[in-house]
Structure 1
Amino acid sequence: MRLVLTDSLFQAADDLEVLGLLHRALGRRCYLAVRSPQADAYLRWHQALTPARREAWDRQLEWTLRDGAVHRIRSVEVVADGFCDWTASPVRLTAAEATRLVDLPFYILLENSRYDRAFLLALAPPAHRPLLERLEAEGRIVFRGVGGLNELRLVVEQQIAPRAERRLSHWALFDSDAAAPGLASADAISVSETCQAADVPFHMLERRAIENYVPTGALYDWADAGYRTAKARRHLLSALFSLTPAQRHHFHFKSGFSAAPTQQEQELYADVPSAIRATLENGISGAEIGRLFHNDLRGRIRAQVDKEGAGAELAPSLARLMELLRVPHG
């Protein structure tokens, strides 16, 4: 996040708030920029800094210019006093509120904090992963599992929507539970509508669930992991990969084909041979498949995801997330 400091901050009787923001920038919690670097008030303030502070200040501004030329960074305008305007573009905050914002952790809302977290990190572009992992290690981002779609909707509706300041500190990722392309479940649609109404950025998966993103190589690694089960598991995978990509992307790994399919499901799987249906009727150990992202050893799944391009779907949403999260990352 980039804090753009306005003239009023440099006209104040003291500069404690500005120096507080400098301290946070030095701690790599935010970027700093000056809206009017040639204004008399700013030039006088800058000249009055001690040499050490001036050097630290200038270094932060240079870092902002350098990274801003390469990355998109969300800007927030900072004023000395007055009212915060969360609807402005960019958002306008007092120095006190901006300080509070950069001190807060950023929450990534998930249905399951372990498996969905691992999934997100696996599908994140390689350029984003180090920053995400660093921010998590520092306690700057928190992967918050809420326990399902309905709970996620309630969290956004009851805890985030009433507090405008939380819209810059939350992002959500959730399954579509789509039984066919473009056929998200009613619960998933409700969550997306609630997020939109609250102005909370989010990504709803296009495929059914995270299991539907496990790369081919990882599935065969899972099949071959146990000597006694390898033959049966490979038989399941052979049936799975006889399906078309669209059929695989919406297949229910945990329970197989629906007992009461919708018309769209019937049309999607109309050409599946009866032998394949029989093999896949109970699914493919969905609980274990979903854990593969969490149990990824030495980053093999990440490498396979990168090779297959499975993360392309999330790239635009993650780019918007990184606009909010981006901080100096030397």
Structure 2
Amino acid sequence: MRVIIEAPLLVSAQQARYPLALLELFNLCLDQDCHTLEVEPLDAPELKRWTDTLTPAQQKEIEFILDASAERQLRDPPASVVRVADVEEARWEGTVPRLPLRGAVALLRKPLRVLIEGVHDEHFLHAIVPHFYRARFEDWSKREMLKLEHRGGLQNLGHALEQECQARERRLRLFVMFDSDARKRGEPHSESRKVARFCKRNALAHHQLERRAIDNYIPEPAIERWLKQKHPREFDGRWLPRLQAFRLLSDEQRHHYNMKKGFRGDREGAGLADIFDRFLSTKPGQAAHLEEGFSPAVAETFLERIPDAWLAQDGQAPELMELFEKLLRAA
């Protein structure tokens, strides 16, 4: 989070009432490197008047935090912004909220809550995080600067978001990731579109998966690895033909195939998408192997890290980079 301190606050009655709160705000930005902090304007005389009251060690620390924040702001700016001002209560006019000093401290103490649909989504994020973002994601997760919370399906997620957004300050510490449930490219399910519209309307940082569900991000080598571990004796006879048929699908078909229940699951549900018509008519023998899917437990594949090379080969790298850039910048 980008924190902008309005210079008059530094010498305000509010600062005099809570003399330790401002130092705590700076220390939070030092300890939690997901935040940046700046004083506006940077050359304000109020900044010198305030730092003159501090010890030499504290002055050096303040200077270090401001310099490090300015550097990160250029390199990797946070997406969410708050202003800390000489106000008695939060002001929500405009696009950037203005918070009182203690309100800002309370906000920065809170982790970024990442709302997801289920426990397998958590495993998914840890398994597929790109190398470029991995150290930061794992470090911030371990230090509880990121808190993943399961909400159990799109409908429940939508209801949870409605409750969360009743308190405006909560929106600043939320990120939402959810399935598109799309049966074909670029056509998310109505429930997913509803959640996406809600996020946009309430300025919530979010990512709607482009593929149907997290299962569709399992690269073929990872499926093979998991099947061999899960069914070593049956692999050659039962699962290899299914895997070979899966390899014949086009990119769009693989990205929207029902990985858990196969063609039969879709037929018994909302119906099988027409993107599979040609495959069914031209390769009926191969299509028969894909009637049942790879098991309701296929998301267990994400219990093991998936190599970056497999993800890149599967064409996922651009979307995964976008996902984690948005998530980490929201922190």
TM-score when normalising by structure 2: 0.88
TM-align CA RMSD: 2.2
Shift of 1:90: 3.1
Shift of 1:83: 4.1
Gaps spanning 5+ residues in structure 2: where? none
Shift of 1:47: 2.3
Shift of 1:95: 1.4
Q: 1:283 aligns with which of 293, 297, 307?
A: 293
Change (3 A) 1:309 1:70: farther
1:1-330 matches, cutoff 5 A: 1-13=1-13, 14=16, 15-28=19-32, 30-74=35-79, 75-113=81-119, 115-158=120-163, 160-225=164-229, 226-231=231-236, 232-257=238-263, 258-259=266-267, 265-272=273-280, 273-287=283-297, 289-293=298-302, 295-296=303-304, 299-306=305-312, 308-325=314-331
What letter matches 2:279 in structure 1?
Answer: D
The alignment partner of 2:243 has SS state of helix
Q: Aligned equivalents of 1:119 and 1:303: distance in 2?
A: 16
Number of equivalent positions: 319
Q: Aligned equivalents of 1:256 and 1:308: distance in 2?
A: 20
Q: Aligned equivalents of 2:70 and 2:246: distance in 1?
A: 50
How far does the alpha carbon of each residue in 1:97-152 deviate from its partner, in whole angstroms, 9 at most, with x for none?
A: 11111111211111113x11121233333222222222221222211011111110
TM-score when normalising by structure 1: 0.89
Higher helix share: 2
Q: Aligned equivalents of 1:211 and 1:55: distance in 2?
A: 50
The alignment partner of 2:148 has SS state of strand
Shift of 1:263: 8.4
Q: Aligned equivalents of 2:225 and 2:272: distance in 1?
A: 32
- Aligned twin of 1:328: none
Gaps spanning 5+ residues in structure 1: where? 326-330
The alignment partner of 1:69 has SS state of helix
Change (3 A) 1:28 1:260: closer
Change (3 A) 1:85 1:318: farther
Q: Aligned equivalents of 1:9 and 1:127: distance in 2?
A: 38
Q: 1:180·1:250 contact (CA, 8 Å) conserved in 2?
A: yes
- The share of aligned pairs that are identical, in percent, is 28
